[in-house]
Every structure is written in C-alpha cells, then in structure tokens.
Structure 1
C-alpha cells in the first residue's frame, strides 16, 4: 500500500509539473512573437491615439500571427512598472504610446539594452539603438481641417482645445491655425488646454464656453477630453472636428471631419518589420500624406460641400509635392502669418 501511495504521489507531482511547464512556456512553444503596448493615462478606449495603436496591434495579430496585449496606465508612475512587467514576461517588442512615455522608454532602453522598444509620437536627439521612433506629420492633417473650418465658419470664429501643452498637441494646433488663416484671414481662433487627456467634463465645459463666445466650430486634440467636447457640440447644435481616428460616429451630424493620424499604420509597420527580422532601432520613421498616414476621412463629404473638398484636395497635393508646408510650432506659425 505504501508503495502504491508513493507511486501515486510521484505521478501527481510529475503531472502537476508538466501542466505548469506547459502553461508557462506556451508562447515559446507556439513560436509566436510577443508584442505589447503601454497606453498613456487616457487608456485604450480613448477614441483617439491609444485606441488607434491597439487597432494596429489587432491587425498585426490577425495578419502576422503575433501575440499582442496592452497594459493601461492610470497615472504617470505606472509607466515604468508596466515596462518592467512586460520585460519580465519576455515581451519581444514593448511599444510606448504617446509623448508622455518618452522619458520612461529612454530610461528603460538603457536599463534593458537587450529589450526592443518602439515609441509613438516622440524621438530623441540620440535615439537608443534598441528604440524605434514612430512620428507623424500631424501638422498636415491639422492644416487640412483648418482649411475646412476656415471655409465653413459662419461666425468667423473657431476654437482649438488641446489635452496638454506638449509638442505633439502643438503640432496639430499650429497646423490647424495656419489652415484656418489660409482659408479665412478674418477668422478669430480661441485656444485653450484642458491639462488632461481623460476629463470629459472639462472638455465639455471648455467647448461650451467657446461656443458661447461665438465659435461655431471647435477642433479638439485631447483623447477623452474630445469626447466631452463633441458632446457639447451635439447638445448645442454646433460643429466639432475630431482627431487621430474618424470620430464622426460619436456625433454624425456634428463632427465635420477629423484630423487623421494613422497610429495604427505606424504600429503595424513596426511590428511587421520586427516579424521579418528588420527591426531598425536607433531610427525614426515619419508618416505623412505621402504615406496615406495623415489626412481627413471619407465621411467628411457627409457635411462638407464638394467645392470645399476640391479646395482641400488641391492643397493636399501641394503638400505631397513639397510646394506647401505647415507650421509645427508657435515660432513657425508666427513667421508664417507675418
């Protein structure tokens, strides 16, 4: 009896060990490349750039057969903790989404030199050799929606709401302002930052105040702040302009257009390069109109006349040929309008 009992215990231990090994090494056995992204504080369902990045990973999972996941960050302090979690899980590529993750990715790249990273919306003077930077000519799509706002405003007054005053938001802002002025030199532009990417109530309050101050079109670059601002446009019967993704589904009668920035394309291409053994760390790839990675969505024709669309398309071709450029900074904008 003792021998039988000892044999049973031994067999149970062997089976348990086999199950644990099977669970822990499943991704290694199936040979899948493991990709993960870390959101900024706006979260994965921000209707904006985090969500677009996740859509790019979902496409990569479907078309390239990689394993994908995301970790959300509720506060800035979560960024490094999320990186360390993914390093411990032997993630092949860790993607930081948004300019706010830039310092964390730079620090992590030095601490984990064998780990591959990608960073969306920012680069460095000296890019670490294990970091791929993904950027966009967002000023181009900002300029195009500015042209639409300048042509369509009935009050000669439009607004811009930014989530936070950081470089990537300013790129949209000054491109937009330049487009408005090119289409309508008499237009006034209200501008304000919400100091948040998550506060829907604040976005709604700022937009409401702008509409009360005579703006009839407001462009919002601020993650979920934009969701609240679009709600204000819907309630007041005004127009809003979305960002990053086609946001017309949030209010089909009120979202004139959106300044598209195809974060999904940049993320997908980075994963594709890695899967093909072509990860080019230490470099930056910039996506713009020539790569069909910025622009305006087809749904723009629902609320914008063909005459205005033809005008916008003419300017779009000038961007592609290099004849036209848009400002990214306040200094460039001031020089242009002068």
Structure 2
C-alpha cells in the first residue's frame, strides 16, 4: 500500500510541475527591468516621450519595477539601443515613435524570448513577442479642431505637423475635419516642419500663420511645437497642445491640449509583464471611448496644471491666468465639445483617419 501511495504522489507531483511550468510566468515586480528607447526630441519634449517616461515612473512607484532609458541622437542609432536592452535580458523593451518600427521588428526577431512594446505603429504581421500601442489621434484632434473653430474670431486656424508622414496625417485630418464641422468656410493653414526637435522652425512657421490671419494653431510636432507656443506668446494669439497637457507652457495662450495617453498604455503594458498576462502579437488601439485620447478640461484646472504650480514650474499668478482663460474662453464651449465627443463615440459623427485613406487631393 505504501508503495502505491508513493507512486501516486510522484505522478501527481510530476503533473503539478508540468501544468505550472506551462502557465504564464509573472515576474517579481522588484526584479522586473524595463528598457525604453525614446524617439526624436527625447526627454523634455513635453509630448509623447515625456508621456511614455511618466508611465514608467508610475510603474516604478506603484509596481516597484526598475527602468532605464536611452535617447538616441539619431534614428540610425535606434536598433543599437534596442539591442542593448534585449541583449541584457530586460523583461520588457519599449520603442517610442513610428520611426523606430523597422528597428524594433528586426531586434524582436533576433530575441524571440524578450517581450517588446512599440508606441505608434501598427504592424501588418506582428510578431508574437511584440505588442503595438496605437491611438485614435484623429478622434482627439477632431475635438481640438472643433474648439479652435469655436474660439477663432478670424475664421482662420493653423496646423503645424512635425514630419509629413501617415501617422502625423492622423492629427492633421482630425483637426481639419473638426474645424470644418463647426464652420465649413473656415480657413485651415497647414505646414510641416520636417523635424520633431526644432523649436526655432516651429516658431517661424507659426509666426507666418499668425501673419496670415490665424488666431489659433494646433501642433503635432513634438519639441518643435514649443516654438509654436513661443509665437503665440509673442503675437498674443492662441495655440493648442498635443499628447500631454501643455497648457502651462504658455499660460493664457495654450487654450487646451489634445491628450494621447501614452503614459497609461505604457503603464498597463508593464503591469501585464509583472502579473504574467502580457500577450504579444497584438496591435492595440486606444480611442475616445476608452479615454485613450481626449482633450484637457475646458472648465476647471487640471491636475497637471496644479502640479506645475506646486512644482514651481509656473507661478500662482500664471495658474490664475490659466483658470481665468478657461472661464472666459473655453468653458462656454465645454458643453458643445462634450456633445461632439459623445457623437463620435456613438457613431453619429464619423471621423476619417487620413493616416489610412490619405490626405485629400485638394490639400
């Protein structure tokens, strides 16, 4: 009898080991290492690089992970930077920006047992160890265009893009359609800077647009966009920020920002690695419906604006300027923008994705 019990115990032990060996493995949060390779413009762009970094800071604080980052001086260095993290066995390697998609795919193929995440480019044939984080920028930008048209007194608004590429056309298309939805006769000036890290170029383009009658300019140009804000201050006009809450960059002149919650997407991906639910081979999309994109609060001070004051980035007087601007300029349009947002979510308004269908021939 003893021998039978012993034999059964051995069999059950073997089955137990097989089953649990096959189950997804969660990593200890304290032992989880994440490496991120930032896009052109790097930290301090007040845009999507900073947003991705905030997501990792939150994961470090709340999950206890460790992370490191690399800011390549040139896109040609992306592959080397990604490979550096993969070779060292990081639990998750993240690449930021559409310009990095080819490099990340090459490295991911060479390291099939390393988890990868990519921000801003869907892969036609995505690898099993890659998850792609994408956003419906055209939906959020539609709200920005509608707000610009509602605020404009000259019926003339502008859009400054970083690089003339399909991804950036998503922002342009949404903004254009949103402005035209409010006022079909509004003029929409469009220019591309061909750079994500050239504030001087952004300022030059914006000044030209203001000279040509625009009184509100939206940018999707990374660090180049800070030049748009400088021009808005100089000319006492308005601008709309992108990706992160940029309202505090030029208090009283940045009337709102189109939010692209890269921080949340990055955090959730890290969390999936920690708890063992990471699942590669997916192109994920974050939309208005799930708060993946949106627009900053048009009526009340936002958390980020208050934080900017508490951290000494802006003064109490500048915080008050932002509050007064919202009260006088954007709050009167909050209900209309909320109505448009709901109509997009429920399908009453269909926003074309110019990144897929292309820009209209007349532009």
Same fold (TM over 0.5): yes
Deviation at 1:292, TM superposition (A): 1.4
Partner of residue 344, structure 2: 319
Q: Deviations over 1:213-233 (max 9, x none)?
A: 111111011111000111110
Q: Deviations over 1:113-134 (max 9, x none)?
A: 1121100011111101110010
Partner of residue 156, structure 1: 155
**SS of 1:54 mapped into structure 2:** helix
**SS of 1:326 mapped into structure 2:** coil
Partner of residue 251, structure 2: 252
Partner of residue 188, structure 1: 187
For structure 2, which runs of at least 5 residues remain unmatched after alignment? 1-26, 301-324
CA distance in 1, matches of 2:259, 2:351: 15
**SS of 2:289 mapped into structure 1:** helix
Tell me, yes or no, if the aligned pair for 1:178 and 1:333 is still in contact at 8 Å: no
Partner of residue 208, structure 1: 207
Matches within 5 A, 1:70-219: 70-219=69-218
CA distance in 2, matches of 1:285, 1:65: 25
Tell me, yes or no, if the aligned pair for 1:83 and 1:94 is still in contact at 8 Å: yes
For structure 1, which runs of at least 5 residues remain unmatched after alignment? 1-27
Q: Deviations over 1:40-68 (max 9, x none)?
A: 12102111000000000100111111111
Partner of residue 333, structure 2: 308
Deviation at 1:180, TM superposition (A): 0.2
Tell me, yes or no, if the aligned pair for 1:257 and 1:300 is still in contact at 8 Å: no
Deviation at 1:332, TM superposition (A): 6.7
Deviation at 1:305, TM superposition (A): 3.7
- TM-score normalised according to structure 2 size: 0.82
**SS of 2:352 mapped into structure 1:** coil
Deviation at 1:288, TM superposition (A): 1.1
Equivalenced residue count is 309
CA distance in 2, matches of 1:254, 1:103: 38
TM-align CA RMSD:
1.9
Q: Deviations over 1:49-99 (max 9, x none)?
A: 000000001001111111112110110111011012112322111100111
**SS of 1:290 mapped into structure 2:** coil
CA distance in 1, matches of 2:104, 2:29: 28
CA distance in 2, matches of 1:50, 1:299: 24
Tell me, yes or no, if the aligned pair for 2:96 and 2:120 is still in contact at 8 Å: yes
**SS of 1:37 mapped into structure 2:** strand
CA distance in 2, matches of 1:305, 1:123: 34
- TM-score normalised according to structure 1 size: 0.87
